[in-house]
Structure 1
Amino acid sequence: MALATAAYAPATALQFDASRIQQAAQARYGQRGAQAVSRWMVMLSQHRGAPESQQLRAVNDFWNSAVRGGEDRHIWAQPDYWATPLETLGKQAGDCEDFVIGKYFSLVHMGVPAEKLRLIYVRARIGGMGSSTTIAHMVLGYYATPDADPLVLDNLMGSITSASQRRDLTPVFSFNAQGIYVAGSTAASPDRIGHWRNLLAKMQKEGFQP
């Protein structure tokens, strides 16, 4: 998977009102949902300040194990819905975007600069090397340096691998809080993505400050 280099720009860490988020989880999803959110916050606290390689593994493992994969039409009765981390943990189910959103905001909260991370739309080949069947998919990319071969965090795989090793993935475009990137160039503001705007608005109501 060939990806363009990242361009770094200043960004701030994700802050949140832990008590408010816990109360929201309890009210919406009961004890089970509140416990899932509590486990997430414990993980964030335990690994905050750790080396970024350790944070990547902890976050990838947490979300891949805490959430079961599903489709929005079954989970939310909608064709395409971007859930907040609280919503995903409350349901303990999500599609590929929800895994990526949870991992992205977890790492930003831990102190990983948001400019090192990108939400990447890809076409994922399924059915083995000889297959021509692809599906729309999203993964999280981590750039240790702006020109690095990014690491890929994917809910379809337990391990974190470099993009160059993921020959089953073909990038379409990527984005983060700084912009939308197509073919190596900044194409637009992420505000152009309606789902992203709605996601941030929902998170603010829940007690996050993205």
Structure 2
Amino acid sequence: MRASALTDVEQKIITFSHEHFGQRAGLRIKAWLELTHHLQNQSLPLQLSEVNNFFNQLVFIDDIKLWGEDDYWATPVQFLNAGGGDCEDFSIAKYYTLRELGVDDEKLRLIYVKSLTLNQFHMVLAYYETPSSMPLILDNIDGEIKPASQRSDLVPVYSFNATNLWITKGGVTGSQSVPAGNVSNLSMWQKLRKRSQHDTHHPIINLDQ
């Protein structure tokens, strides 16, 4: 992949991560920013695949170990600086990177599910070509992007994007999603937005876009 020229702001973000979180953190941020430049105006399948593969290189780390909290949703740069995170962090980073690449918010949903394989709650990112189409699932457990019809191991609980919140029934397909109001009702999402707004060191991803 040929690196595209980074902006002065992006270079400062890399330097900040390097100085405060170490050389590897700076290199991860640099690789991410170069990836977003490289994928601009590329095909959607390539964007989905490259973004999914990039973040799936990071390691899983429990919130309590990493942040000292039972449940903490990190910004994409916090995730990269730490070098890992839990399933919410993987999904959120993929979501905002795809949004930065111009994918419409209405085509993306973060889906909170029960993983039958792990017997625990989990989060994945779904891409919908149309509101009624079978979504593609981007996941850190199963790294291969698959239609939701091939992910019978996931039982949905609810889904959301930057605007709306749904209670999801009838499988991860979301074909029986029931509107549950505005995403402002989701407290963890609001905490994430505020955290990003107040972080002056890496204003790359606009959480309100």
Could you say which TM-score interval applies, normalised by the shorter chain? 0.7 to 0.9
Q: CA shift at 1:25, angstroms?
A: 2.1
Cα deviations by residue, 1:96-118 (Å, 9 ceiling, x for unpaired):
00000110001000111111100
Name the % identity.
38
1:123 deviates by 0.5
In structure 2, the gaps of 5 or more residues are: 1-8, 169-176
Which stretches in structure 1 are left out of the alignment for 5+ residues?
A: 1-16, 128-133
Name the structure 2 match of 1:202: 195
Alignment: residue pair count:
187
- Match of 1:86? 77
| Alpha-carbon distance in structure 1 between the residues aligned to 2:143 and 2:18 | 29
8 Å contact kept, 1:88–1:98: yes
Secondary structure at the counterpart of residue 32 of structure 1: helix
Aligned AA (1:163): A
CA distance in structure 1 between the partners assigned to 2:144 and 2:20 by the alignment: 32
SS of the residue corresponding to residue 22 of structure 2 reads helix
- 1:21, 1:86 within 8 Å by CA — same for their partners in 2? no
SS at match of 1:28: helix
Match of 1:38 among 7, 24, 30: 30
1:28 alignment partner in structure 2 = 20
Alpha-carbon separation, structure 1, partners of 2:167 and 2:70: 25
RCO higher in structure (CA 8 A, sep ≥6)? 1
Amino acid at match of 1:76: W
Pair 1:175 & 2:160 matched:
yes
Q: Supply the AA of the counterpart residue of 2:155.
A: T
RMSD: 1.5
